[in-house]
């Protein structure tokens, strides 16, 4: 079913391309070719700079030998999803869902899956504001699920999150999620998980930050502004390493502590609560997505043995050609609410409302 859905989307994309006016297409294609040449020149420069960096210091490391099974036999994925529909009279409907999925004894048993779904109503002046409010509702739901899991699960587990451990700041004027209370709850949930032996791991595929760029600028005392973000930098370093060593297996960088690099107030709040966030980059193979991996720890120095164990866990749980560990990947796929599903639900709400109130049909025209 998922594959059919992707095929339909691809056909829709091709159809919309063909429906574009011919003369417009000719000019757009010509401009696309020009931009493609510019991109090639940029990536050539990135290659040159990454070669220089690798020549100065070992920045990329490989897992060449057979890796050991991860120390913990249990692995968990937690993720949430939402859509926003409506808007009549400033009222919006938010279908929300979350999934917690966990494997016990590695892959010897079928995973246990716990679902939650609801529809919330919010008031917002436009769709942009409604989506912001809805995203905060989802963050709150995810954090509640983390708290429930770490509080009720005695066995230690890797907890893979589809996204960073430290969420982006919540806007102060938000009637649906108090920023200070939310941060307190999330920090306490993460700290509670660490105390109970769980290993919380954030996995980011959309890498737009520049923390690693800043980190290397300090080490080399140089300007690396040509790398627009960490993905440009790490992607170039990994590419060079694979080319120079003819290596296609797992690659990673050494972890760096966010406390000393990230000036975001959110990280400071975690640090004040005794939680240190370490980050590194990992790629299962040449065909997999690059991940920024966040680890939450109470120690101000990362334990080498525990770091090696986490690398083993990532190598074990990430399937070839994929980016996310299997528990997080399945949680993401099973919790996702498609836009069409949300629209059908909204149509059902409208149908009921128009049946009960005949004037409603006149209002929505």
Q: What is the pLDDT of residue 362?
A: 43
Which of the four pLDDT bands, split at 50, 70 and 90, describes residue 127?
confident
Mean pLDDT value across residues 154-162: 92
Average pLDDT, the chain: 85
pTM of the model: 0.85
Distance CA 175, CA 172 (A): 9
Q: What is the pLDDT of residue 356?
A: 54
Q: What is the pLDDT of residue 53?
A: 85
Distance CA 169, CA 161 (A): 18
The domain segmentation of the chain, as residue ranges, is: 72-207+250-340
With a cut of 80, say whether residue 6 has pLDDT above it: no
For the stretch 226-241, what's the b/e string if a residue is b when 16 or more beta carbons lie within 10 angstroms of its beta carbon? ebeebbbbbbbbbbbb
Instruction: Give me Rg for the CA atoms of the chain.
Output: 23
Among 69, 70, 73, 77, CA closest to 327: 77
CATH of 72-207+250-340, one of 3.30.310, 3.30.2170, 3.30.160, 2.160.20: 3.30.2170
- Strands 199-204 and 256-257 turn out to be unpaired
Distance CA 258, CA 282 (A): 17
For residue 354, count CB atoms less than 10 angstroms from its CB and return exposed for 0-12, middle for 13-18, buried for 19 or more.
middle
Among 213, 110, 211, 98, CA closest to 149: 98
Token reading at 172: 């102060």
Q: What residues does 122 pair with on adjacent strands?
A: 92
Mean pLDDT value across residues 175-191: 81
For 91-116, the pLDDT digits (tens) are 889 999 999 999 998 888 899 999 99
Residue 307 gets the label, from left (phi > 0), alpha (psi -120 to 50) or beta, of alpha
Q: What residues does 80 pair with on adjacent strands?
A: 98
With a cut of 70, say whether residue 122 has pLDDT above it: yes
For 249-283, the pLDDT digits (tens) are 999 999 988 866 666 667 777 888 888 899 999 99
């Amino acid at each position: 079913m998922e594959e059919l859905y992707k095929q339909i989307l691809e056909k829709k994309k091709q159809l919309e391309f063909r429906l574009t006016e011919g003369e417009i297409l000719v000019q757009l294609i010509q401009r696309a070719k020009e931009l493609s040449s510019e991109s090639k020149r940029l990536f050539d420069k990135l290659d040159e700079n990454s070669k220089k960096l690798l020549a100065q210091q070992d920045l990329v490391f490989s897992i060449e030998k057979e890796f050991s099974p991860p120390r913990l036999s249990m692995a968990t994925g937690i993720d949430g999803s939402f859509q926003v529909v409506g808007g009549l009279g400033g009222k919006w409907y938010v279908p929300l869902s979350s999934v917690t999925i966990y494997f016990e004894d590695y892959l010897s048993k079928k995973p246990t899956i716990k679902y939650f779904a609801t529809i919330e109503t919010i008031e917002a002046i436009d769709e942009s504001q409604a989506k912001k409010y809805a995203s905060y509702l989802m963050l709150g739901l995810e954090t509640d699920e983390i708290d429930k899991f770490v509080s009720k699960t005695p066995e230690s587990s890797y907890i893979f999150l589809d996204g960073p451990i430290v969420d982006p700041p919540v806007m102060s004027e938000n009637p649906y999620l108090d920023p200070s209370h939310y941060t307190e709850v999330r920090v306490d949930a993460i700290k509670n998980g660490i105390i109970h032996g769980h290993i919380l791991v954030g996995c980011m595929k959309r890498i737009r930050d520049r923390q690693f760029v800043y980190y290397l600028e300090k080490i080399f005392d140089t300007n690396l502004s040509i790398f627009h973000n960490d993905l440009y930098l790490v992607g170039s370093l990994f590419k060079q390493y694979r080319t120079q060593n003819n290596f296609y297996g797992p690659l990673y960088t050494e972890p760096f502590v966010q406390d000393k690099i990230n000036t975001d107030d959110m990280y400071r709040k975690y640090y004040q609560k005794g939680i240190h966030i370490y980050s590194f980059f990992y790629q299962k193979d040449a065909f997999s997505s690059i991940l920024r991996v966040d680890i939450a720890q109470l120690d101000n120095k990362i334990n080498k043995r525990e770091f090696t164990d986490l690398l083993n866990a990532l190598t074990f749980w990430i399937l070839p050609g994929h980016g996310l560990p299997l528990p997080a990947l399945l949680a993401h796929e099973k919790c996702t609410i498609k836009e069409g599903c949300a629209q059908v639900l909204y149509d059902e709400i409208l149908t009921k409302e128009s049946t009960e109130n005949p004037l409603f049909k006149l209002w929505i025209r």
